[in-house]
Structure 1
Amino acid sequence: MTTSPASRLLHPPEPRWPAVVALVAVAGLHLALPRELAIGPPGAGHKSGEVAG
């Protein structure tokens, strides 16, 4: 089903940049948090190769 040009003017698509900004912020916070405060599997998202022990 295709939409007509008039329909696009009445209902413009929703902007996607707020979702992209939120995802980048969450990823940045996850990488910035110390390992003790990070949520998820041990070592997920951290660049250091050391093993927690």
Structure 2
Amino acid sequence: MNMQSGANIVIRRKGSVTEGRGRGRAKASGRREINDRNLLQLRDLAVVNGTLRDD
């Protein structure tokens, strides 16, 4: 079926969650980096708009 459709078809069974845990951590750290970058962008925007609060 992979050759016919051109898509990767993966059948997951019991235990596949534990096998993929290492990648989940990498995704979480990637999300943190994106979140940090978004916060910096929002802070810069607040500075430009003059609405930055020093809490």
Q: Give the shorter-chain TM-score range.
A: 0.3 to 0.5
Q: TM-score, normalised by structure 2?
A: 0.45
More helix by share: 2
Highest relative contact order (Cα 8 Å, sep 6+), 1 or 2?
Answer: 1
